[in-house]
Amino acid sequence: MDSVPLTFIRSVFRISKHDVLKEFHQFSSPWGREAEAEGRRSGGLRLTFAPYNGDKDDYRLYYALRGFSHVDSTELSRAVAGQISKTIKYIELQQLYIVNEQWNLVNPNDVDLLQLLINLDAPEKLIHCNGALSLYVKLQSKYSNLFRSFTSATVQCYNDSRIIEYMASYPRMRSLDVKSYVKVSWPTSFLLDYFFSDTCMRLFTNFMDLSVILGAIDRWKKMDPRTLKFSKLLYGMHCYEEDLTGVGLKEIDVEAKAALMKKVRSKVKKDSHIKSLHRVDHPIDPSSKIYVVLYYDRRYTDLGEVLLVF
């Protein structure tokens, strides 16, 4: 492993998230040294909307650079964008409502700066919609290209799905995480259409409703599975084996399928315990399968979770 060229190691770390770099810090090999160096060079870009001069009828976009020890400026320009483009790990929009002197205003008339923010990419370009869906809907037309540039979203609001539907209609949104402790009022058909689109790679349905999980299995059985361009992951909560009665579960001997078990284990949280592994065969094409992983968080052993690997 130490004989791997440094150029390869650096190329791996450039597309790795920050938590991956931290895992390699413990090694004294070239991997560890390069991870530490990449950690110093790397950083992220945070975005938020806030009332301009306290005017709640005039929300404007602000940004802040975090990290990037090799960059002197805290303001984004074409030159700075070029400096950080290879080491940026995340771009994150989170609604804060209040900003301080560490944040830079994006003037509504500064088309070039806004375009820089839109064009800048990272391994993770995430928008948090927690409590801000109605605000984002109001700002959608003004910042339409910005909203369309995100590749993943988390949502902890349950009623208004308009901004998510807007972003999901463009071929950038690869991951969506919907969280709720109650039943979500979003149309199941929208979530299923998004999941089976050519864009989606992961969908987290972390709410008390299995209609998306069951609906996905049913839709997959009725479609030609060969039309799926890549593997997809669908997560659900409050799910137990008895909830999946009738879908055609076939239990898999995990000891006999060690390689498969290793693969699915990498798809669930580290502190999870896999209770059982199953498969669902396609009724027309038996060579196509859904792998069904039933597991739980070791901290909450009574809360069943499920992962479907398509």
SS3 assignment, position 40: helix
Mean pLDDT of 242-252: 93
- For residue 43, what are the β-bridge partners? 67, 88
Concatenating the DSSP letter of every residue in 132-149 gives: THHHHHHHTTTTHHHHHT
Domain assignment present for residue 111? The answer is yes
Domain assignment present for residue 232? The answer is no
**In this structure, are 158 and 139 located in the same domain?**
yes
Q: Considering only CA atoms, which of 236, 247, 217 is closest in space to residue 294? A: 236
pLDDT at 179: 82
244-248, 255-259, 260-264, 278-282: which range is least confident on average? 255-259
Given 106, 141, 173, the domain boundary residue is 173
Query: What's the domain range around 120?
Result: 42-173
In contact, 236 and 212? CB cutoff 8 Å: yes
**Residue % of the chain over a pLDDT of 90:** 54
pLDDT (tens digit, 9 = 90+) per residue, 1-54? 556 676 766 566 665 666 665 666 566 676 666 666 666 678 999 999 999 988
Given 138, 155, 173, the domain boundary residue is 173
1-15, 156-170, 235-249, 271-285: which range is least confident on average? 1-15
**In this structure, are 166 and 50 located in the same domain?**
yes
pLDDT at 121: 93
**Burial (0-12, 13-18, 19+ Cβ within 10 Å), 80:** middle
Split at pLDDT 50, 70, 90, the class of 56 is: confident
pLDDT at 11: 63
Domain assignment present for residue 205? The answer is no
Helix ranges restricted to H, the chain:
6-14, 18-24, 30-41, 78-84, 111-119, 133-139, 144-148, 162-168, 188-195, 211-222, 258-265
Domain assignment present for residue 87? The answer is yes
**In this structure, are 55 and 154 located in the same domain?**
yes
In contact, 234 and 212? CB cutoff 8 Å: yes
Domain assignment present for residue 149? The answer is yes
Q: 202 pLDDT exceeds 90?
A: yes
Q: Considering only CA atoms, which of 192, 131, 127 is closest in space to residue 156? A: 131
17-26, 61-70, 128-137, 301-310: which range is least confident on average? 17-26
161 contacts: CB under 8 Å, gap ≥ 6: 133, 186, 187, 190
Alpha-carbon separation of residue 111 from 114, 154, 215, 232 (angstroms): 5, 27, 43, 37
pLDDT at 162: 86
**In this structure, are 65 and 161 located in the same domain?**
yes
**In this structure, are 90 and 28 located in the same domain?**
no
Q: Mean pLDDT in the chain?
A: 87
- Choose the most confident range, by mean pLDDT, from 10-14, 158-162, 230-234, 239-243: 230-234
Mean pLDDT of 164-176: 92
Domain assignment present for residue 187? The answer is no
Alpha-carbon separation of residue 237 from 181, 213, 258, 293, 296 (angstroms): 10, 10, 25, 12, 9
Name which residue leads in pLDDT, 156 or 169: 169
**In this structure, are 27 and 61 located in the same domain?**
no
Cα end-to-end span (Å), the chain: 32
**In this structure, are 151 and 29 located in the same domain?**
no
**In this structure, are 70 and 112 located in the same domain?**
yes
Domain assignment present for residue 284? The answer is no
The pTM of the full predicted model, rounded to 2 decimals, is 0.83
pLDDT at 160: 76
**In this structure, are 92 and 111 located in the same domain?**
yes
Domain assignment present for residue 158? The answer is yes
Given 173, 191, 225, the domain boundary residue is 173
Distance from C-alpha of 238 to C-alpha of 303, rounded to nearest angstrom: 6
SS3 assignment, position 222: helix
**Backbone φ and ψ of 157, nearest 5°:** -120, 150
**In this structure, are 59 and 32 located in the same domain?**
no
Q: Count structural domains, the chain.
A: 2
Name which residue leads in pLDDT, 54 or 159: 54
**In this structure, are 48 and 30 located in the same domain?**
no
Split at pLDDT 50, 70, 90, the class of 182 is: low
pLDDT (tens digit, 9 = 90+) per residue, 63-113? 999 989 888 899 999 999 999 988 899 999 998 878 899 999 999 899 999
Q: 173 pLDDT exceeds 90?
A: yes
**In this structure, are 93 and 2 located in the same domain?**
no
pLDDT at 21: 56
